[in-house]
Chain A
Amino acid sequence: MNVKLFIILLILPFHLDAQGFAGLGQTPEGFAQPAPDPIFSFPQDHGAHSDYRIEWWYLTANLTGEDGLEYGLQWTLFRTSLAPEDKEGWASSQLWMGHAAVTTPDAHYVTERLARGGVGQAGVRADPFEAWIDDWAFTGPFDRATLRATGPAFGYDMTMQANGPLVFHGDAGYSRKSANDQASYYYSQPYFQITGTLHLPDNDVRVVGDAWLDREWSSQPLASDQTGWDWFSLSLKGGAKLMGFQLRGDDTYTSATWIEADGTTTPFPNGAFSALPLGVTDIEGRKVPTLWQVQLPDKGIDVTVEAVNPNAWMETSVPYWEGPVRVNGSHQGRGYLEMTGYDGVTSQ
């Protein structure tokens, strides 16, 4: 999961009100609802599920450049539906939003695209796999894909190869988001080897690293009192990985998946995982925690998670923080951190 973003957003001025972050707490009348014990079918489920209100294809990558520097990369496509039934052409109820970013230790480049469904400007096709918005594309086959994005200041051209199985979070892919009914379908491909070129304002940089793709869809993933989340995807030395998140609301709700090097998963219920902010960064008046203590005692995890670049703020229609992190403490490693709901100066 990662409760990753949400979306949907589009364009709304999001108030952290009773609707939860980015409207994700709205009641999803007429849309399909995730149910326990899902049966996934591939490649169809790599494609879009337009009977659900929101969905995303969310890829992050920790990279090392030929210059020896650490880089982070993000490629995300969000889908939201304005109405349960879809129509042809401009009457389509589907809206698409793309976010792309490259993070270096001292810079953070972000760009965004918006598109209507129904006319071919954006979409996701399951077979042969392609997810696209404008000239940005995540083009299959799914296990050996290419990835591209461009913006006014930067761009990248990457190739990826999946070296492990898909990973299903929560209860075999049914991921709870609150003590009540909120849930989503959630699986990942955390085993992509990625290589390619970052086009930065000053130069092109050849990079190599690993990428993590999250797939998630739902119709009401947040409870109405939940105002944001902190989500961690960590790759530890030795090959194990940890996905953990906490949803901030009247009560904090946490969830985690421990992934062995061979892809075997162990889900952890609410309360097993914890994340404690140790330090905040002031980003133009917003107080954003960029140094964390993360614990999963059942697996002996007690690490600090520190942003490679604390200023990885996503200045997009729906603003949030997303960037690469370093892991130290009981384990070493690297990963990605996403934090939403910090847009207001006092939103904690």
Chain B
Amino acid sequence: MTRVTLSALLSHWWRNPLQLFTLLAGLALATALWSGVQAINAEARASYDAAAATLGEGQFDRLKRRDGAPMTQDTYIALRRAGWLVSPVIEGRVDGVRLLGIEPLTAPGGLAPRAFGTVSALAGFSTGDILVAPDTKLARARLVVDAGIAPDTAISDIGTAQDILGRDGEIDLLVIAADQPILQRPLSEIAPELVRQEASTGADIASLTDSFHLNLTAFGLLSFAVGIFIVHGAIGLAFEQRRGTVRTLRALGVPLRLLVVLMGCELMGLAVFAGIMGVGLGYLIAGMLLPDVAATLRGLYGAEVAGTLQLRPIWWISSMAIALGGTALAASGALWRLSRLPLLAGAQPRALALAAGRGAKVQGVVAATLLLVAGGLALAGGGVVAGFTLLAALLIGAALALPLVLAAVLGWASNRAQGVTTSWFWADTKQQLPGLSLALMALLLAMAANIGVSTMVSSFRLTFVGFLDQRLASELYISAETPEQANLIETFSQRNAEAVLPIQKVEIALAGIPTEIYGNRDHATYRDNWQFLSATDTPWDSMHSGTGILINEQLARRGGIAIGDPLDVATSSLKVVGIFGDYGNPIGQAIIDETLFKTMFPEGSPTRFGVRISPENVDDFVAKMAAEIGVPAANTVNQAGIKAFSLGVFDRTFTVTTALNILTLAVAGFAILMSLLTLTSMRVPQLAPAWAMGMTRRQMGLLELVRTVLLALLTGAVALPLGLALAWVLLAVVNVAAFGWRLPMFLFPLDYLWLGGFALLAAAIAALWPAIRLAKTPPSDLLKVFSNER
């Protein structure tokens, strides 16, 4: 009996291949979006892990020069001979690849890529082997491929790296081993120019890249929510349509329990199949997007991410679990209803609507509760978890509320309608709402996600570009290799440019927070370009008088410091007179007057300079400087170049965001199409009377199209505020909790208009085919309604 029953159930799919396709495609698309985003995240994280493992970043304290310049090898030897167990590292870039030079014998365990297992491996490494990840493009001899190395990173012996980089005898930093001898001379006696950086600070790219992944993860969750609505809808409809079959089978004596079990197994089988397709599809999506994501992360944060994808168990297993779990979630309600169905209950399509009507009250209460929770969290919550909870409550609450809002609007319109056709249109639209509501919820979430994410990305771009304008106010930046060269550059620039602004900094702890403190020269460049988040009336005057200090937002937030608060710097107490935005910086930053800086930190000298000069003279200046004082063009950075590069990075971010936007919209459009196709055949009995009373099939098709566009428009009207709320949560709640700075939110009405247009277009395209089918329904089918009520 099991086999016969199963084949009877499955025969439904044979007769309705389109429905089978809907179900499989919906599940596969939902899984694909989720797994695509997860794949990108997993790949990027694995790349960071490899980087962390190679570098031991975050594991060991380091010593660096206070002024950021390289130290000499003599300093290293002096420290070793004073009992300091430190190991030298030199860093640089070659052919776009990050080259790390390490010393294998002194490197603490975990720093070197792997134990050199043999004398010949050690001998090879110390005489010039370069370890690289697979597929690294480096035009050098003696490359040795090692899968444990981060992408686009090469590791060589320090001597080899010094040769390649042309930096004989230089060391960038010293890694401090965890276990130090009991007797060692103090650092201040041997190398007072060095500062110790705690393991947890310094080049910690994780907190920065996390920002990007948080956004991607949010996108992934939204995509999945959209997908789950689709799956839920598809399964619900499949069950609804098979009521007749179920009734017949039960009447023939098939036990209910067997039916439920068989249908559950059948769905799980379909879910496995669709899940595999979804994972494959997600792999394709991720494969297409990953190069752009990798380029974005590299450009924004200097984090190396492989541009190629590996099949990592973590994401395909999680994606399959999501597909199966999503199906189970979506099917449980349908199976539960099936198990409670009276033996000979009628199989009217209206059952769906009636059931929805009964659930409406519960749905309303749940939606209201979720929205209240969201509101409460927005007012009171703090932390990343609260931020995401807020996001979830807001989105699910809004989605659940959507059918109720739409029903209210349609009811209102229906009451005001004049004329028979209009009244019928409104009433029929309202009647169709339950069947379409899941697809409309998906559309709502897709549109809200698009509005939210694009608002966030665009706000980020505007802010960052403004920030670059502020920070890169000088037209040209020059790095000096030695203090002597620094003097030459300063003198030369004073003669040949409008102004020269030395950039000098030291790293110290302010209010217990690692902070870079800068000594700024009083110049209009700063006064004209810098904007403060908050400040006293005359921040620049106070700062340059030597009584005030400017700090960045991170320092203010982490230290709980406000305008007017005193801050101890070295031996003085300065008043905080301004707080400025400082995006993408993991540590604190502060600015004091140049003269005060030199008194407090006499050992530091500026090694970088900003030069004010009219942009068209920059090239001449650089050429002249190379000829007269021998500073190579390689030591200069043209402001225009940095900005172009930064904007290029953002364009890539946009590529990723746009692609994901289009995908989610396409998925939502697909959901509408499938819902309408299913409804079309079910609605023949409702349309037949209208046809019989004189409405043409063409008119009915047209109205069908109008109806869908109207519903999409109404959904869009709800999506706009929801999307903006989403953007606000991402920018003002999640970002602050995760990274310590708040991004200002900008609005982009034209973008929203375009998006609305696309959404309507997607809805119209989705409705077109069902409308045409409707317009071409054979009159005989319509007639049959009157002769034979199903």
The interface of chain A, by Cβ under 8 A from chain B, is: 8-13, 23, 82-83, 89-91, 95, 111, 114-116, 119-121, 132, 134-135, 150-155, 199
Bound complex: CA A151 to CA B179 (Å): 9
The 3 closest A-B pairs by CB, nearest first: A90-B159, A150-B181, A135-B83
Which of the residues A89, A91, A134, A199 comes within 8 Å of B80, measured between beta carbons? A134
- The answer to whether A10 touches B122, judged by C-beta atoms less than 8 angstroms apart, is yes
Complex contact A89–B119 (CB within 8 A): no
B110-118, B471-479, B534-542 - interface stretch: B110-118
Interface of A is mostly: loop
Tell me the bound Cα distance from A23 to B118 in angstroms.
Answer: 11
List residues of chain B with CB under 8 Å of any chain A CB.
73, 77, 80-83, 85, 103, 105-106, 115-119, 122-123, 126-127, 157-160, 162, 168, 179-184
- Check A115 against B105 for contact (C-beta < 8 Å): yes
Complex alpha-carbon distance, A89 and B181, angstroms = 26
Contact A155 B181 (CB under 8 A): yes
User: In the bound complex, how far is the Cα of B184 from the Cα of A152, in angstroms?
Assistant: 11
Q: Cα distance A151–B126 when bound, in Å?
A: 26
Complexed CA–CA distance, A91 and B128 (Å): 9
Measured in the bound complex, the distance between the Cα atoms of B159 and A12 in whole Å is 22
Q: Which residues of A contact B180 (CB under 8 A)?
A: 152
* Residues from chain A with Cβ under 8 Å of B85 in the complex: 134
- Within the complex, what minimum Cβ distance (angstroms) separates B733 from chain A? 46
Cβ-defined contact, A90 with B80, below 8 A: no
- Output the least CB separation between B530 and chain A (Å): 45
> Knowing A10-B122, A91-B127, A115-B106 touch, does A121 contact B77 (C-beta < 8 A)?
yes
Evaluate contact between A119 and B105: CB separation under 8 angstroms.
no
Q: How far is the CA of A116 from the CA of B230 in the complex (A)?
A: 65
Report Cα–Cα, A12/B91, bound state, in Å: 28
Indicate whether A150 sits within 8 Å of B77 (C-beta atoms), given known contacts A13-B117, A89-B159.
Answer: no
B552 CB, nearest partner CB in chain A, Å: 39
Interface residue from B115, B159, B182 paired with A91 (Cβ < 8 Å): B159
Q: Which DSSP category, helix, strand, loop or mixed, fits chain B's interface?
A: loop
With both chains docked as a complex, state the minimum distance between the C-beta of A299 and any C-beta of chain B, in angstroms.
41
In the bound assembly, the distance between CA atoms of A89 and B77 in angstroms comes to 12
B509 to nearest A CB, angstroms?
27
Contacts of A199 in B (CB 8 A): 182-183
Q: Given A12-B117, A135-B82, A135-B83: A153 and B73 within 8 A (CB)?
A: no
A107: shortest Cβ distance to chain B, in Å? Answer: 15
Whether A132 pairs with B81 at a CB distance below 8 angstroms is yes
Report yes or no: B119 in contact with A150, Cβ–Cβ below 8 A: no
Which chain A positions have C-beta within 8 A of B182? Answer: 150-155, 199
The 26 sampled A-B contact pairs (Cβ below 8 Å) are A10-B119, A11-B116, A11-B122, A12-B117, A12-B118, A13-B117, A82-B126, A83-B123, A90-B159, A114-B105, A115-B80, A115-B106, A116-B103, A116-B105, A119-B77, A121-B77, A121-B106, A134-B83, A134-B85, A150-B181, A150-B182, A152-B179, A152-B182, A154-B182, A155-B181, A155-B183
* A135 engages B181 (CB within 8 Å): yes
Task: For A91, give the chain B residue with the smallest CB separation.
Answer: B159
**A8 proximity list for chain B (CB < 8 A):** 119
Q: B53 to chain A: closest CB distance in Å?
A: 19
Give the contacting residue for B119; candidates A9, A114, A152; CB below 8 A.
Answer: A9
- For the complex, give the distance between the alpha carbons of A199 and B181 in Å: 11
In this complex, what residue of A is CB-closest to B179?
Answer: A152
- For B77, list chain A residues within 8 Å (CB): 119-121
Q: Is the CB of B181 within 8 A of A82?
A: no
Q: Contacts A90-B162, A135-B82: A152 and B181 contacting too (C-beta < 8 A)?
A: yes
Q: How long is the Cα–Cα vector from A159 to B130 in the complex, in angstroms?
A: 45
CA distance A116 to B116 in the complex (A): 15
State how many angstroms separate the Cβ of B165 from the closest Cβ of chain A: 13
Please name the residue on chain B nearest to A96 by beta carbon: B105
CA distance A11 to B125 in the complex (A): 13
Nearest chain-A residue to B78 (Cβ)? A120
How far apart are A324's CB and chain B's nearest CB, in angstroms?
Answer: 22
Docked pose: A9 CA to B387 CA in angstroms: 56
Q: Which residues of the other chain, A, contact B158 by a CB distance below 8 angstroms?
A: 90
Q: How long is the Cα–Cα vector from A150 to B184 in the complex, in angstroms? A: 9
Contacts of A83 in B (CB 8 A): 123
Supplied contacts A89-B168, A91-B159, 7 more A-B pairs, CB within 8 Å? A11-B115, A90-B126, A95-B105, A114-B106, A116-B126, A121-B77, A153-B182
Q: Which of A10, A82, A115, A150 contacts B183 (CB 8 A)?
A: A150
Pair A151/B157 contact, Cβ less than 8 Å: no
Q: Measured between alpha carbons, how far is A11 from B112 in the docked complex, in Å? A: 13
The closest CB in chain B to the CB of A156 belongs to B183
* Distance in Å: Cβ of A7 to nearest Cβ of chain B: 11
Q: What are the residues of chain A within 8 A of B80 when measuring CB–CB?
A: 115, 121, 134-135
User: How close is A206's CB to chain B, nearest CB, in angstroms?
Assistant: 17
CA of A114 to CA of B179, assembled, Å = 15
Partner of B181, one of A91, A95, A116, A151: A151
In whole angstroms, what is the CA distance A135 to B80 when docked? 6
- Cα-based distance from A155 to B127 in the complex (angstroms): 34
When C-beta atoms are compared, the residue in chain A nearest to B118 turns out to be A12
A34 to chain B, nearest CB (A): 22
Report the bound CA distance from A236 to B127 in whole Å. 48
Cβ–Cβ < 8 Å partners of A10 in chain B: 105, 119, 122
| Contact yes or no, B184 A90, CB < 8 A | no
User: Which residues of A sit under 8 angstroms from B122, Cβ to Cβ?
Assistant: 10-11, 82
Whole-angstrom distance between the Cβ of B61 and the nearest chain A Cβ: 15
Cα distance A89–B72 in the bound complex, in angstroms:
13
Give the residue name and chain of the B residue nearest to A152 (CB): B179
Question: Which of chain A's residues have a CB closer than 8 A to the CB of B181?
Answer: 111, 135, 150-152, 155
- The chain A residue with its CB closest to the CB of B119 is A12
Residue of B nearest to A132 (CB): B81
- State the Cβ distance, B184 to closest chain A Cβ, in Å: 7
Min C-beta distance of B182 to chain A, whole Å: 6
Complex alpha-carbon distance, A134 and B115, angstroms: 22
Chain A residues near B119: list those with CB within 8 A.
Answer: 8-12, 23, 82
Query: Closest approach, in angstroms, between the C-beta of B158 and any C-beta of chain A?
Result: 6
CB distance from A5 to the nearest CB of B (A): 16
A20 CB to nearest chain B CB (Å): 14
Least CB distance from A259 to B in Å reads 35
What is the chain B residue whose CB lies nearest that of A88?
Answer: B159
CB distance from B25 to the nearest CB of A (A): 55
Asked if B184 and A135 sit within 8 Å, CB to CB, the answer is: yes
A11 CA to B116 CA in the complex, in Å?
7
Q: In the bound complex, how far is the Cα of B122 from the Cα of A151, in angstroms? A: 25
Among A12, A23, A134, A152, contact of B81 (Cβ-Cβ < 8 Å)? A134
Give the CA-CA distance A119 to B106 in the complex, in Å: 13
Contact B83 A150 (CB under 8 A): yes
Give min CB distance, A232 to chain B, whole Å.
30
CB distance from A93 to the nearest CB of B (A): 8
Which residues on B sit within 8 Å (CB–CB) of A121? 77, 80-81, 106
Complex Cα spacing A154 to B181, Å: 8
A115 to chain B: closest residue by CB: B105
Q: Which of B73, B115, B179 contacts A119 (CB 8 A)?
A: B73
User: Nearest A residue to B107 by beta-carbon distance?
Assistant: A114
Q: Which residues of A contact B118 (CB under 8 A)?
A: 12
Q: How far is the CA of A13 from the CA of B126 in the complex (A)?
A: 18
